[in-house]
Amino acid sequence: MNRMDPMDPTTRPGAAPPHHGWYLLAFDSELTEEITPLAIGGHRLIAVREDDRIRVLDADCPHRGAHLGHGARREGDCLVCPFHGKRIALGDRSRTWSVREHPVLRWGEAVFARLGDHPDGDRGFERAVKAWAQEFPLVKAVTLPVAVAPEYVVENAFDPDHFKAVHGVPGTRGMAARPGDAGELVIEGEFLMQTSPWQDARRLEEVRWEAVRTGKVRWDFKPRFHARAFSPAVVVTEFGPAHEMQVIVTGSVPTADGGCLARVAIGVRAAQRAALPALIAGSEKALGEDKVVWEHLNPYARPRYDARDAPVLAFRAFCADFAAAATAAAVEAVDAAEVTR
């Protein structure tokens, strides 16, 4: 087969195969239909609701590529394809006609899907989610289309200097990246702030006035920042002191136009629930600030990294590991297609 076959989804122009691993694919509220069409870049998917369960499968009918998210109907354990009516099994590879199923993790309102069956694809995410999910149920904070490659969104957590320049955080300390125990990438450090931003407004005012009166700024609040990227598309940040910690999940899903859909979800303990509206507003504001920079940068500019960019470089190396695996998987898919034609 010609490897540039325009009918082959893995070689379709502008639809580079996405990397394997985890994606924050959707919020529960986006999956309103029994069958919802979705995509990760050029990889077309469907989400199928079964009562409380959500399953994520490839969207292309194996017969001639009709999209099962547009017009297929559920019949028993199959989908009936809208093009020629074949019964397509859900993830059962022993059947002649079936579509591939992808692992799904649900954490509060967030639905995660993992592409590919690369043995190294999980990077400890499943176990980590189990540990967080009970105490920090996720709620939807932001969904925002951004005209930038998806890696920039997750890279943000590994870019210490941008917190001050873009978001006005007074300072950071530490902020070093290292590999985690399960192959995820970790960055850890502290933010330097005058006081907790989620304290009551009166206390915030007092602290500001004290700084004006004395001419001295005291960094009395040093929240811990501990972020773990589990794929180039998902980073989970624990932020703040242990007793009022918040868990912030940032995800990016590539869109067919080369940009991405950024999503942020936030989890806090039950006792902190009242702080959620302010935290959601804060993350909306922050993502808007990032978007201005992302959408005006030149991705082709030759970077001149310096020592302070070490965590960014660590993140880029982490991503390259995933990209290589995705390319291998795509070649495998093309070869498999050759056999069945």
Residue 207, helix vs strand vs coil: helix
155 near Fe ion, rule: CB under 5 A = no
Q: CA–CA separation, 246 vs 54, rounded Å?
A: 26
Say which residues have a Cβ less than 8 Å from residue 196's Cβ, sequence separation at least 6: 221, 223, 240, 241, 244
In the chain, what is the straight-line distance between the N-terminal and C-terminal CA atoms, in Å?
9
Residue 63 interface partner, choices ligand FES, Fe ion, none, CB cut-off 5-8 Å depending on type: ligand FES
Q: Scan residues 25-44 and list those touching ligand FES (CB under 6 A).
A: none
The C-alpha angle with vertex 332 and arms to 14 and 111, in degrees rounded to 5, equals 65
**Of the ranges 95-103, 192-200, 243-251, 288-296, which one interacts with Fe ion (CB under 5 A)?**
288-296
**Contact predicate 326/19, CB 8 Å:** yes
Please report whether residue 66 would count as binding ligand FES according to CB under 6 A.
yes
The DSSP letter of residue 28 is: G
86 is a contact residue toward ligand FES (CB under 6 A): yes
Residue 156 found at the interface with Fe ion (CB under 5 A): yes
Instruction: Specify the residue, 48 or 66, whose C-beta has the smaller distance to ligand FES.
Output: 66
Q: What's the rounded Cα separation, in Å, for the pair 202 and 49?
A: 47
Measured between alpha carbons, how far is 305 from 313 in angstroms, rounded to an integer? 8
Alpha carbon distance 36, 326 (integer Å):
25
Instruction: Choose from Fe ion, ligand FES, none: what does 132 bind? Cβ within 5-8 Å by kind.
Output: none
| Of 156 and 231, CB closest to Fe ion | 156
59 lies in the site for ligand FES, by CB under 6 A: no
Which letter does DSSP use for residue 8 in this model? -
Does 87 interact with ligand FES (rule: CB under 6 A)? no
Binding-site partner at residue 290 among ligand FES, Fe ion, none, CB < 5 to 8 Å by type? Fe ion
Find all residues with CB under 8 Å of 179, minimum gap 6, and list them.
185, 186
**Would you report the helix, strand and coil content of the chain in percent, each value rounded to 5?**
30, 35, 35
If binding is defined by CB under 6 A, does position 24 make contact with ligand FES?
A: no
Stretch that binds ligand FES, among 79-87, 172-180, 235-243, 325-333 (CB under 6 A): 79-87
| Contact between 84 and ligand FES per CB under 6 A | yes
Minimum Å gap between C-beta 144 and Fe ion is 12
Total residues in contact with ligand FES, by rule CB under 6 A: 8
Query: Is the CB of 11 or the CB of 143 nearer to Fe ion?
Result: 143
The answer to whether 33 touches 118, Cβ cutoff 8 Å, is no
Q: Which of 38, 48, 56, 81 binds ligand FES (CB under 6 A)?
A: 81
Question: Which is closer to ligand FES, CB of 83 or CB of 132?
Answer: 83
C-beta separation of 134 from 123 below 8 A = no
Find the DSSP H helices in 250-309.
Answer: 276-296
CA distance 62 to 88: 8
Q: Which is nearer to Fe ion, 73 or 285 (CB)?
A: 285
The least CB distance from residue 96 to ligand FES, in Å, is 12
With CB under 5 to 8 Å by kind, the binding choice for 66 among ligand FES, Fe ion, none is: ligand FES
61 binds ligand FES (CB under 6 A): yes
As a whole number of angstroms, the distance between CA 180 and CA 207 comes to 37
The answer for residues whose C-beta is within 8 angstroms of residue 75's C-beta and 6 or more apart is 87
Q: Which stretch binds ligand FES (CB under 6 A): 8-16, 81-89, 231-239, 270-278?
A: 81-89
Query: Rule CB under 6 A: is residue 83 a binding residue for ligand FES?
Result: yes
User: Does position 290 bind Fe ion by CB under 5 A?
Assistant: yes
Partner whose binding site includes residue 73, from Fe ion, ligand FES, none (CB under 5 to 8 Å by kind): none
100 binds, among ligand FES, Fe ion, none (CB under 5 to 8 A by kind): none
Binding site for ligand FES (CB under 6 A): 61, 63-64, 66, 81, 83-84, 86
